[in-house]
A and B are shown apart, each in its own frame.
Chain A
């Protein structure tokens, strides 16, 4: 066959419309769109505009930190899709894990790589008193809020007067309020529809769509077919929001000593700022009950939360320590499982090398790029002073 003929045959193959099986279609239809942001009964100001405006101010405020130079935006930089582009987070010092994005964080079931926070407002409080992040204290946080006129005014507009700094129980209530305001802001960081979403919606209507390129469609067929990515990366968030140990080698090599979800779950169950704790606005509700009922099984050792793939193309590097620099590296890891670190019975047992060819891997990468939605509104991406309409 001549080169010209080979080229024509290749073009014909690549241009052939993708036909999805019924099972594949059913899995595809579950991939989108993102539903309405779920409510959070544990946070009574979750949907409050004034609380979100306060939270936006707090998010960008560096004076809470020991050095006065670290804010939430340091590790969750809006210019970098609310992550920081580093392997390990760097606040007042270097942390032990990679900063996950805050885009679409309101859809998460657990927070942090190890799920040690069961609500978004509980997560927002951890960094203040973490030595590597803010290296600060709740007292300092509230002291700053009390001293900065615009923060004090915004706080008291939502929550009433600041507490007596000598009263520990009042301090904790106010500290919880700080977390709730930050969470109210972060809940609004939702990406717009992606090309994948448009394709899924057309499929739901029974229409053909060119929202996805041929390569991305082939990638989608692998995703819900032979590659079986959907097993853990299914649903509208392209994540099951649960925890798996896939044996990614730790940064620096060797065996992993990070217990991940094993200790994270234990921490979530004793957190004073949990969904079932005294500062929750719905301590007897579903969220708190589910935290208490979560099973701490052996399979959780070394397990980390399945990240959403909705922002995968803009949140490099990847995995809990940023061990994998590019999407291609991630796909190569799954394709070969080379250097996978096994811990006897603790790791995920369903992973096998995909053994796909280079073209298939490129198609999967095309799909992941097409799964990324548009950024949140611009007014959410910068510090705001005073009340602003979201």
Chain B
């Protein structure tokens, strides 16, 4: 399991920022402790560099996770749906323990993309 780091969003929220910190994703997993090899869901909210919320209509999101030392990613492509001022992600599955890199890619209307990512050590 992975216990998510605390943040202003909730006790169990992960924070992923882009390199230039122009975007930050706050990710709340359900269940709160990300399990090994069991499906889980995510709630994602985005803010810009000034902390202003980014609404789902402003960008489109893609979520992925890979194990860099194993040279493979998830076995499933997560399903994203818009949920109010954020996104609901289903079918996340980190099927092996170890180091994963979770990424959230935001595609802007002009076609440019911003990646937010962080390492997750899953046991």
B-contacting residues, A340-386, CB 8 Å? 345, 348-350
Please tell me if B123 contacts chain A, counting CB pairs below 8 Å: yes
Alpha-carbon distance between A295 and B36 when the two chains are bound, in angstroms: 18
- The reply to whether the CB of B52 lies closer than 8 angstroms to some CB of chain A is no
A231 to B71, Cβ gap below 8 A?
no
Q: What number of A residues sit within 8 Å (CB to CB) of B?
A: 25
Residue B54 at the chain A interface, CB threshold 8 Å: no
Question: Are B37 and A234 in touch, CB under 8 angstroms?
Answer: yes
Q: How far is the CB of A102 from chain B (nearest CB, A)?
A: 22
Q: Are A290 and B91 in contact (CB under 8 A)?
A: yes
CA distance in complex: A69, B9 (Å): 64
Q: A232-B96, A241-B37, A286-B39 are in contact. Are A26 and B123 (CB under 8 A)?
A: yes
Q: Is B32 an interface residue (CB 8 A)?
A: no
In the complex with contacts A241-B37, A286-B39, A350-B70, A294-B75 CB distance below 8 A: yes
Partner of A289, one of B90, B96, B123: B90
Which of A230, A232, A299 lies in contact with B72, CB distance below 8 A?
A299
Closest to B64 in A: A295
Q: Which of B39, B75, B90 contacts A295 (CB 8 A)?
A: B75
Bound-state CA distance A241–B38 (Å) is 11
Q: Is the CB of A231 within 8 A of B95?
A: no
Inter-chain CA distance A231–B77, complex, in Å, is: 22
- Whether A240 and B95, one on each chain, are in contact in the complex, defined by CB atoms closer than 8 angstroms, is yes
Tell me the bound Cα distance from A349 to B77 in angstroms: 22
Given the known interface contacts A230-B97, A231-B96, the answer about A293 and B91 at a Cβ–Cβ threshold of 8 Å is yes
Judge whether B36 and A242 touch: CB under 8 Å. no
Q: How far is it, in angstroms, between the C-alpha of A23 and the C-alpha of B72 when the chains are bound?
A: 24
> Smallest Cβ distance from B89 to chain A, in angstroms?
11
Determine if A387 is an interface residue (Cβ-Cβ < 8 Å): no
Q: Is the CB of A293 within 8 A of B36?
A: no
Q: Is A152 an interface residue (CB 8 A)?
A: no
Query: Is A297 in contact with chain B by the CB < 8 A criterion?
Result: yes
List A contacts of B74 (CB < 8 A). 295
List chain A residues, Cβ under 8 A from B39.
286, 290
Q: Return chain A residues, CB-CB under 8 Å to B75.
A: 242-243, 294-295
A242, B95: Cβ atoms under 8 Å?
yes
B71 / chain A contacts, CB cutoff of 8 Å: 299, 345, 349
Kindly state whether residue A27 has any CB partner on chain B within 8 Å.
Answer: yes
Task: Answer whether residue A100 sits at the interface, using C-beta atoms and an 8 A cutoff.
Answer: no
CB distance from B70 to the nearest CB of A (A): 5
Q: How far is the CA of A320 from the CA of B24 in the complex (A)?
A: 46
Indicate whether A235 reaches chain B with its CB closer than 8 angstroms: yes
Could you tell me the distance between the alpha carbons of A337 and B73 in the complex, rounded to whole angstroms? 24
Query: Is A289's CB under 8 angstroms from B37's CB?
Result: no
Q: A residues touching B (Cβ–Cβ < 8 Å)?
A: 23, 26-27, 30, 230-232, 234-235, 240-243, 286, 289-290, 293-295, 297, 299, 345, 348-350
19 contacts between A and B (CB under 8 A): A231-B96, A234-B36, A234-B37, A241-B37, A286-B91, A290-B39, A293-B78, A294-B75, A294-B76, A295-B73, A295-B74, A295-B75, A295-B76, A297-B72, A297-B73, A349-B69, A349-B70, A349-B71, A350-B70
The 5 residue pairs across chains A and B that have the minimum distance between CB atoms: A293-B77, A293-B76, A299-B72, A242-B95, A349-B71
